[in-house]
Amino acid sequence: MKFVSFYLFLFTFSFSLFAGEEGGWHSSGGELFKDAHNPWFVKNTNTIKYCFEHDQSSFSANRATVELEISKAFNYWQKEFEKSSVSNAVGTFNLGSQRIEQVSCGVETDIVFKFGYGTLTKKEIVHLVKPEKYIGVTIRKEYDPESLKGQGIIYISSDKGVHRYENPDGNLISFAWKNSKLLLFALIHELGHVYGIPHSGNGVMSQIFLDQLLNKYLVESFLKLPLESFLQPNTSISSCNLERKIKTFVFNLSPNENCIRIDVKKNGDYNLFAVNDKKETRLIGFLKGIYPELWDVNSRPASILQITKKQMVFTPKQTGFRNFMYGPVSLDQGYRGTLMINNSLPRAVYLKVRSNSFAIYGEYKKKTQPLFIMQSPLSILLLKEPIL
Ligand SMILES: [Zn+2]
């Protein structure tokens, strides 16, 4: 397919210094190219072809690690999109339906992952002005307004040698990519941009995420952190953060059972399991009769597709005759339901389900209070005072 001839570079910044702010000028929105933040791939792209280049001398992670973490980052997003890909409604589009294929770098490659300064071309260096200012950056180089397909690079900065990422305040750790998990977090963030997800919230797509990730006061916590969901909660949720009396008198757990796991059933109900110190599980009850409260819904599209005039992918009927479409939605919602714990009377409860947290509220000792809370570990980490 023919790509547009002009060489359009587009940034999604992942570092605190914005080239656009230099000289005091700064514009928010109103970009010349309205499709600038579109996902690079929609339903007409069957396969995403990617390759990687690796500058061993300036990058702490080796080739095998880099290769593995790229595939993990793709898996992360595909899993997220699978959970939320429910929509054939007018004006909406799905993401992540493509097969992912690693190829040798060439003109047909959709995404070139570049690890370390030595992989950058002269033109890319000129464009980035000072690549050392970035921990990671995604550049869309081409966008075909007919097929709505993009092409570009994800650059992860060197962490050693003269061109390593800048650390002017001394707050960042050195040799970050010795930790493959940090590399994975960085790749997930940048790949999120490829899927059209802008900076938002305080999680993995936050504007300052990469700065936080490599912050020497936060990095230890990041290394311990599980990967959390971004769009929709996982279908299995655990928490060991249980108040002692509630654990005993509401959930009827025995002293060696300190955690609860909640699994979503196909019909929308939930199974509750006690988990003991040996990680053995026991079914303790159900959440049933769950129905959403219409006043307690907040839906946010994770990605928006600006429809170009020339596009040949969606029919006017599919776009709803609009010049934009909504991608997968992150849904915060409240539900009423009934908690049925073995050998106890049913209890009316309220569920607060967020993309990365889950809570059950109910009455205990004549007060409405949280009975079960699974908080976003990332949010907790970012709200915590640093350990100096
Ligand atoms: Zn970013």
Mean residue pLDDT of the chain comes to 87
Claim to verify: residue 21 and residue 106 sit in the same structural domain: yes
Residues with CB under 5 A from ligand 1 (ion): 12, 14
Assigned domain for 321 exists: no
Assigned domain for 313 exists: no
Burial of 367 (0-12, 13-18, 19+ CB in 10 A): exposed
Assigned domain for 198 exists: yes
Instruction: Tell which phi-psi region holds residue 24, choosing left (phi > 0), alpha (psi between -120 and 50) or beta.
Output: left
Q: Using the mean position of ligand 1's atoms as its centre, give its distance from the Cα of residue 285 in Å.
A: 42
Claim to verify: residue 254 and residue 214 sit in the same structural domain: no
**What pLDDT was estimated at residue 10?**
40
Claim to verify: residue 121 and residue 150 sit in the same structural domain: yes
DSSP-derived pairing of the beta strands 99-102 and 47-54: parallel
**Domain count along the chain:** 2
Claim to verify: residue 132 and residue 275 sit in the same structural domain: no
Percent of the chain with pLDDT over 70: 89
- Residue 9, pLDDT > 50, answer no
Assigned domain for 307 exists: no
Q: Using the mean position of ligand 1's atoms as its centre, give its distance from the Cα of residue 137 in Å.
A: 7
Assigned domain for 46 exists: yes
Q: Using the mean position of ligand 1's atoms as its centre, give its distance from the Cα of residue 190 in Å.
A: 6
Residues 16-72 have pLDDT tens digits of 333 333 345 555 544 556 788 899 999 999 999 999 999 999 999 999 999 999 999
Claim to verify: residue 254 and residue 105 sit in the same structural domain: no
Q: Using the mean position of ligand 1's atoms as its centre, give its distance from the Cα of residue 14 in Å.
A: 4
Claim to verify: residue 150 and residue 263 sit in the same structural domain: no
Q: Using the mean position of ligand 1's atoms as its centre, give its distance from the Cα of residue 134 in Å.
A: 10
Closest listed residue to residue 15, CA positions, set 131, 129, 154: 131
Q: Using the mean position of ligand 1's atoms as its centre, give its distance from the Cα of residue 323 in Å.
A: 25
Q: Using the mean position of ligand 1's atoms as its centre, give its distance from the Cα of residue 208 in Å.
A: 8
Claim to verify: residue 34 and residue 122 sit in the same structural domain: yes
Q: Using the mean position of ligand 1's atoms as its centre, give its distance from the Cα of residue 347 in Å.
A: 44
Q: Using the mean position of ligand 1's atoms as its centre, give its distance from the Cα of residue 207 in Å.
A: 6
Claim to verify: residue 66 and residue 125 sit in the same structural domain: yes
Residue with tokens 């509401």: 250
Assigned domain for 322 exists: no
Q: Using the mean position of ligand 1's atoms as its centre, give its distance from the Cα of residue 335 in Å.
A: 33
Domain termination site, one of 164, 194, 224 = 224
Claim to verify: residue 296 and residue 214 sit in the same structural domain: no
Claim to verify: residue 219 and residue 187 sit in the same structural domain: yes
Claim to verify: residue 145 and residue 220 sit in the same structural domain: yes
Assigned domain for 320 exists: no
For 363, the domain range is: 236-302+330-383
